[in-house]
Amino acid sequence: MAVDADGTEHRVAAVPVHVLDTNGAGDAFLAGVLDARLDGAGVGAALEAGARTAATVLRSRHLHPLLDAVLDVGE
């Protein structure tokens, strides 16, 4: 949930995902929001981008799914 400069409330649902680890999800959410806003997205669209970015991190044990194969070698 966010409130814009006009006082309008914006809410976005979480992206359904099987959570493996919550580490870094908040940082990923903020990064997604900031990236979208800097690219010109409105508040609602930026929140949706943040939710998608956070969902990517939540599905991984290592902050990003691409790192799973690299860091899990030998397990």
SS3 for the chain is: CEECCCCCEECCCCCCCCCCCCCCHHHHHHHHHHHHHHCCCCHHHHHHHHHHHHHHHHCCCCCCHHHHHHHCCCC
- What sign does the dihedral 23-27-29-31 (CA atoms) show? negative
Q: How far apart are CA 4 and CA 24, in angstroms?
A: 25
Tokens for 67? 């790192």
Entry pTM = 0.82
How do residues 50-72 score in pLDDT, each as one tens digit? Answer: 999 999 989 888 777 777 778 77
Model confidence at 74: pLDDT above 70: no
How do residues 9-48 score in pLDDT, each as one tens digit? Answer: 999 999 999 998 898 999 999 999 999 999 999 999 999 9
